[in-house]
Amino acid sequence: MKNYKAYCFDLDGTVYRGKKGIDSAVRFIHQLQQENIDYFFVTNNSSKTREQLQQALANIGIDTPTFRIYSSALTTAKYVAEHFDKATIFMVGSDGIRTALEAEGIRIVDTDEARPDVVVMGIDRTVDYMKLVKASLAVQGGAKLIGTNEDVRFPSELGFLPGNGSFVNLVANVAAVEPTYIGKPSPVMLEVIQQEFGLAKEDMVMVGDNYDTDILCGIRFGCDTIHVNTGVTSTSIVLQKDQKPTYCVENLDEVKI
């Protein structure tokens, strides 16, 4: 395996499962830090702010500055600000997406007070039926439907849990529309890292457990990819794909720097 100048890691299923770190990933990232090799975290989790993700990493023994953390919430907020200037937003989500939207000066409204131009959906662990009703009716009324990411499920220490894509698909099916997704497998977050740090694609590698998000993100971006057998997609399934990762490993102990 070649050496890279920048390693880009998914989080859920790659670096940790729920609140428990994946030991091989923690060891590998510590080695990158010791060798002064660039690393970044590229997550579809829109529920947390950069600071909250930083704390989640600290809790498993990885101390990192926030500038190394990129989330679908940040990317979605920038997309909405660029494409829907002065729009009103109905939001389904948590602290991460709310903070990111507010930082872009985007007006968040309830459907009871205004007719939204856009419905933005990120993972919301307190979502209830009426919130999904409001989102569905707003989209039927002409609002654009944007999901931070399309992950149908994600791994935890207990097993697989419903992901944001499950709820976005529900609203999309009710309103009979095709949603726009911003997170992986869209290569936008990798493109931002490349631009901000002046990296060449051949010097970057995307590391992840989920073929349909992490690995396809790297493939669509045009960089090498490493699939780890620690989360959503098993190696046996990955090896059946037409577009295969550059490397498949059981875990990151197999990767030498």
β-strand partners of 118: 89, 144
Quote the CA–CA distance of 257 and 246 in Å, as a whole number: 16
Q: Is 184 annotated as a binding residue?
A: yes
DSSP state of 12: B
Residue 132 to residues 18, 93, 110, 161, 205, Cα–Cα distance (Å): 25, 11, 12, 18, 37
Residue 256 to residues 3, 31, 32, 207, 251, Cα–Cα distance (Å): 8, 10, 10, 14, 11
Tokens 């009710």, located at residue: 174
Quote the CA–CA distance of 227 and 208 in Å, as a whole number: 5
- Give the count of beta carbons closer than 10 Å to the beta carbon of residue 130: 8
For residue 160, give the 3-state DSSP assignment: strand
Q: Is 23 annotated as a binding residue?
A: no
Q: Is 110 annotated as a binding residue?
A: no
- Report whether 39 contacts 68 (CB < 8 A): yes
Residue 46 half-sphere exposure toward CB, CA atoms < 13 A: 34
235 phi and psi angles, rounded to 5 deg: -60, -40
Active site residues: 10, 12
For residue 40, give the 3-state DSSP assignment: strand
Binding-site residues for substrate, please?
184
Binding-site residues for Mg(2+), please?
10, 12, 209
Binding-site residues, please?
10, 12, 184, 209
